[in-house]
Amino acid sequence: MTFTRREYLAASASMLGRPALGAIPGQNSTPSAPGEHRLWYAQPAKVWTEALPVGNGRIGAMIFGGTGQERLQLNEDTLWSGGPYDPVNPQAAEALPQVRALIAKGDYAAAQALANAAMMARPLHQMAYQTLGDLLIDMPLDGPVETYRRELDLDAALAATRFAANGTVIEREIFASPADQVIALRLSAKGGLLPPITLRLQSPQTAKTEARGDSLLLSGQGGTAEGIPGALRFAARLRVIAPGGTGRAQGDALHIDPAPEVILLLAMATSYRGPKDVSGDPQAITERQIAAASALPFAALRRRHLAQHRRLYRSASLQLTPGKGAALPTDQRIAANESEDDPALAALYFHYARYLLICSSRPGCQPANLQGIWNDKTNPPWGSKYTININTQMNYWPADPVGLGECFEPLLRLTRELAQTGQETARRMYGARGWVAHHNTDLWRATAPIDGAAWGLWPMGGAWLCNMLWDRWDYGRDRAYLEAIYPLMHGACLFFLDTLQPSAKGLVTSPSISPENTHPFGASVCAGPAMDRQILRDLFDRTADAANKLGKDADFAAQLAKARAALAPDRIGKSGQLQEWLEDWDDAAPEPNHRHVSHLYALYPSQQIAPDTTPDLARAARVSLEKRGDESTGWATAWRIALWARLGDGERAHRILRFLLGRGRTYPNLFDAHPPFQIDGNFGGCAAMAEMLINSRDGMIHLLPALPSAWREGAAAGLMARGGVRVDLVWRDGKLAQTTLTAMRAQDCKLRLGAISRAVRLVPGRAMRFKGPHLLPA
C-alpha cells in the first residue's frame, strides 16, 4: 500500500490524538500504514533465516511456509544443556594477588597466562540454549501451487501462508498465545477439502514420540555439555481438532483424513523451576495447557491472543515515507533499499524489533538471549547465552524508549538470581563482599569468568546490569521499584569498594579487560580500562542517589561519593581520541576497527559525555568513532548508529542505518546478521532510531536531535522520555510540525528543539501540545 502525500500527513497527524496503552491507562493507538507492520514473501523459506518467528515470551516457533511440507522449528525458553553447577575455580583467590602484581609491573602476557591457568571457570565454557525440535506437517498436493504468499502480521502477531492447489485455496494461520500458552494453528480449505495430513514431532535431543488418539507427545532429556549432565526433562504435546474429519495414530505420527478445517494446539514445557530446581513435571504442565486451550473455540483463542499482544504492540508507532521499493516482498525490499533509500523500511525494522521483544521477553519468562528465543541448534554460536558485556544490555535498550517497559521484568529477575550466585563468586574468587558477574551467564546463572582471560576476566557485567535497572527506574520513577532494586545495586557497589586498586592515576579495577579487545602488549588483561571507570561512575552515583531518595544508608552514600571521586578520570590521547585504556595505547592496538567501542559507554548508553555538557570529551569520542569505522558486525553497527545520534549527527547515523538494513547485516526475514544471527542488532537498531528522534536526561527532552534529511516527513507516537513522559511527534519538510507531551506524574521539564528551549510544567494525564519549530503552545 502507498500513500499520497496528503493521505500520509493526515494519517501521521491522526496518531497524535491517540495516547497508547502502557502510557495512559485505558487508551490505545492504532497502527500506521499497514505495509509498515507486515513482512511478506512470494515463496517458502529455504533456510532458517528466511523463516518467520512467532513467540509468546516463553515458547516460540520459526515458520517456513512450505506447501507440501510445513516445518515449525520449536523452542522453549528454559531448554538449556547441563544443569545446576558450581564454576568457581578453587585456585582463583590464591592467584589473584599475583595477577594484580604482574599487571602493575606491566607484564601483561604473564598476568593473562596465570589468569588462564588459575582464575577461569571450571568448566571453561557455560551451558547452551537449545532447540526442542520440529513439528512437521506433510500434506501431499495434486497439481502445481499457484498464487503463493506467506506473511507475518506484526500487529496481530500472526503468521499466515496462502496458496492454491488443484482449485482449492489452502490457508494456514499460526500464533503463539501469551494468554493460553499454546501455539495454535488453523489449516483451512476454500473450494474443497484439505489433502490428507501427516503430523510428526521430532527432536535432535534424546527423546521419543508417542501417538495416541488425537495427540502426539514428544518427551526427552536436555543435553550434556562441558561434562555437566543434562538435568532438564522436556515435553511437547500436540492435539488435533478436525471437525468433519477423522484422524488416527500410526507409530510416531498422526494421520488426518481430508477435512475442510484442522486445528492444531501445541504446548511445550521443561522441568526447570529455577537455577537450582529442576523438579517440574513438563508432561503434566503441557497436559493442563492443552486441556484448557482445547476448551475454547479457535476464534476465542485468537481474540485472547490479539488482546494481549496489541496491548503492548500498539503502545508506540513510527511512520516514515515509503520508498519505491515499499510494495515489494520483504526480501526484495531489503535488496532494493541498498540502491534507493526506502525510509519506511526503517520503520518496519523499528516495528519488527518491538515485535521481537514482546515475543521473546514477557513477565515471568526468561530474558531474551543472544537469539531471543529462536534457535535451531543444540550447540548454537556462542551458546546463545546471555553475554552481559554488551549484548544482553543492548537487547533491552529499546524497552522503555519505545513503550515496552513491561518487557524488562525478566532482566530484573535475571539480575536478582545473578546476585545470589555472584555473592559466592565474589567471596571465593576475590575475598570480597557483595556480588559480581563477569561477561557471560546462562540459565543456571553462572557468574565466574569463562572462555579465557582475554574475553572473560571482566568483572563489570553485574554492575552494568544494575545501571540498566536504574535506567528502568528513571523512566517510571516508581518508589516501590527503587526499593526493590536498591539491594542489588548496594551489593554490586560493595564488591567494588572491596576490590578497587590504587594507582598513580586513581582507583582502578584490576584485573580486567576492555571487552574483547587486545592492547598492544600481546594481551587483553589490564587495569582500569575506560569502560570500567565509566560504569562505576554511574553505579556509584545512582546507588548513592537511590539511598538518598529512599532515606537510608547516608554513610554508605558518602563512601560511594568518595570512591567515585577517586576513580581515574576519562583521558584524551595524543591523537585526540577518547582513550580506551588508562594508558594511551589506542593507536598501537592490533585491531583499529574492533567491533566493541567499550570506551564510548559514557556517550551511549550512559550520558556522562554529551556535546553540550562535556564538549572536549564529546569531540574525543567523535575521533574514536571515526577511527573505528562505521561498518562492523550487526550489533556493533547498531551501537555506532546510537553513538552518532548522541553526537547529533543524523546524516552519519542514517548512513550507518542504511548499512545495517543491507543484505550483509540483515537476513531476508529481517533478523540481524552478526553474522550469524544475533537479535541484539535488531534491538540496538530500534533503540538507535528512537535516539535519533528524542533524547532525554536530567529533566530535559530534546526533540529530533538527529533527524536525517532522508526522513523529511514522518510521525512517531508513544516514544517515552525519562520521568515517564510520552512524546508524540509529527514533522514535515524536515521540521517539527507538532509535538504532544503526556506525563504519568507531575514534573517540571525543559523542552528543547535545536537552539530553542521552553520550560514546561507537566500535569499527570493531561496532554500538552506544541506546534512548529518555535515550540508555540497549540
Angle formed by the axes of helices 409-430 and 479-499, to 10°? 20
Does residue 164 contact residue 145 with C-beta atoms inside 8 Å? yes
CA distance 256 to 258: 7
pLDDT digits 0-9 by tens, 387-433 = 999 999 999 999 999 999 999 999 999 999 999 999 999 999 999 99
pLDDT digits 0-9 by tens, 697-725 = 999 999 999 999 999 999 999 999 999 99
pLDDT at 21 over 50: no
pLDDT digits 0-9 by tens, 259-308 = 999 999 999 999 999 999 999 999 999 999 999 999 999 999 999 999 99
Residue 511's closest CA among 555, 443, 459, 467? 459
CA distance 132 to 73: 8
Mean predicted lDDT score pLDDT of the chain: 94
pLDDT at 26 over 70: no
pLDDT at 5 over 90: no
CA distance 151 to 39: 5
pLDDT at 368 over 90: yes
Place of cell 548513592: 544
Which amino acid, 294? S
Q: What share of the chain is helix, strand, coil (3-state, %, to 5)?
A: 35, 25, 40
Q: What percent of the chain has pLDDT over 70?
A: 96
* pTM of the shown model: 0.95
Residue 34's pLDDT is 56
Which amino acid, 594? H
Give 676-692 as a 3 state SS string.
Answer: CECCHHHHHHHHHHHHH
- pLDDT (mean) for 219-229: 97
pLDDT at 143 over 70: yes
Backbone φ and ψ for 721, nearest 5 degrees, come out as -105, 160
Which amino acid, 762? L
DSSP-derived letter for residue 224 is: P
Residue 362's pLDDT is 98
pLDDT digits 0-9 by tens, 87-114 = 999 999 999 999 999 999 999 999 999 9
pLDDT at 18 over 70: no
Q: Is the peptide bond before 123 cis (omega within 30 degrees of 0)?
A: yes
> What would the grid cell of residue 586 be?
589506542
pLDDT digits 0-9 by tens, 121-136 = 999 999 999 999 999 9
pLDDT at 441 over 60: yes
Which residues, 6 or more positions from 325, have their beta carbon under 8 angstroms from its beta carbon?
Answer: 332, 333, 336, 337, 340, 342, 345
Strand-pair partners of 508: 501
Confidence of residue 20 (pLDDT cuts 50, 70, 90): very low
Which ranges in 500-569 belong to alpha helices (H)? 530-550, 554-566
Which residues, 6 or more positions from 284, have their beta carbon under 8 angstroms from its beta carbon?
Answer: none
CA distance 131 to 392: 20
Confidence of residue 12 (pLDDT cuts 50, 70, 90): very low
Q: Which domains does the chain have, with CATH numbers?
A: 41-80+128-314 (2.70.98.50), 92-122+361-629 (1.50.10.10)
- pLDDT (mean) for 341-345: 96
Residue 33's pLDDT is 55
- pLDDT (mean) for 464-475: 98
Q: Is the dihedral of CA 414, 415, 416, 420 positive or negative?
A: positive
Helices (H) and strands (E) in the chain, counts: 18, 28
> What would the grid cell of residue 710 be?
532522508
Place of cell 537487547: 395
Confidence of residue 452 (pLDDT cuts 50, 70, 90): very high
pLDDT at 32 over 60: no
Q: Is the dihedral of CA 547, 553, 557, 563 positive or negative?
A: negative
Residue 246's pLDDT is 77
> What would the grid cell of residue 608 be?
556522562
Helix (H) or strand (E) holding 147: strand 145-153
pLDDT digits 0-9 by tens, 643-699 = 999 999 999 999 999 999 999 999 999 999 999 999 999 999 999 999 999 999 999
Confidence of residue 142 (pLDDT cuts 50, 70, 90): confident
pLDDT at 23 over 60: no
Residue 100's closest CA among 118, 83, 84, 127? 118
pLDDT at 554 over 70: yes
Residue 55's pLDDT is 98
Angle formed by the axes of helices 530-550 and 461-476, to 10°? 40
pLDDT at 19 over 80: no
Q: How many residues does the chain have?
A: 778
Q: What percent of the chain has pLDDT over 90?
A: 93
Does residue 590 contact residue 559 with C-beta atoms inside 8 Å? no
Backbone φ and ψ for 757, nearest 5 degrees, come out as -140, 150
Helix (H) or strand (E) holding 256: strand 253-256
Residue 540's pLDDT is 98
Confidence of residue 29 (pLDDT cuts 50, 70, 90): very low
